Structure 1
């Protein structure tokens, strides 16, 4: 069973994209045929920001490092069901007073 990412991102820094894979065939008379490509033709990618205390940011970094960008984990995006994601890239934290800021990109995957 995959681990679950439990930390909630800062809503102000949350953005995402959905990618729909489509196969297209263009014909000479202007006719085009399109069909969904594969059984998982929709995937999502989220840019997340976490603004938290030292211990929380350290725990997030430890979680992401433990998964090494390759092992999938469970995470629940806004208005979507829980799904599997990987994180191949995150920023080194920056400090502002007593809090740190960390940004990460979560990419949906379909196998642990």
Structure 2
């Protein structure tokens, strides 16, 4: 089964937030020495707060894409980042009507990993 690609524009004027979280292991010894190491080969994960404001039909298409990808990975390239696999945080999808023909849709994209090269 083919992996879908998120093709809609990223609007950076809304100041979206990119979060970088790293999983590490650390041990503190009695003499003050502290040892720190990565926890696995994919220890850094990225979260991106995505938001789109525009036509209602485009916002609904983005919302529907997001609803399909809470458990299924998709390909996306974040602003100033590298192409990778992402999923949608399950409780992060929002659709806010802005009149009859406009809407804002938002969701949180979380980086995920696979053995398949994207």
Tell me if TM exceeds 0.5: yes
State the TM-score, normalized to the length of structure 1: 0.90
Provide the secondary structure at the position in 1 that maps to 2:98: strand
> What is aligned with 1:51?
53
State the TM-score, normalized to the length of structure 2: 0.86
**Structure 1 unmatched ranges of 5 or more:** none
Instruction: State whether structure 2 residue 77 is matched by structure 1 residue 73.
Output: no
Q: How many residues align?
A: 111
> What is aligned with 2:42?
40
Q: CA RMSD in A?
A: 1.6
- Cα drift, residue 92 of structure 1: 2.4
> What is aligned with 1:91?
94
Partner Cα distance (2:74, 2:87) in 1: 6
**Structure 2 unmatched ranges of 5 or more:** none
- CA deviation profile, 1:78-106 (whole Å, cap 9, x unmatched): 12111111112211223146421111100
In the TM superposition, 1:7-26 aligns within 5 A as 7-13=8-14, 14-26=16-28
- CA deviation profile, 1:5-39 (whole Å, cap 9, x unmatched): 00112212311101111110000111100011100
Instruction: State whether structure 2 residue 90 is matched by structure 1 residue 107.
Output: no
Partner Cα distance (2:97, 2:18) in 1: 22
Partner Cα distance (1:52, 1:91) in 2: 14
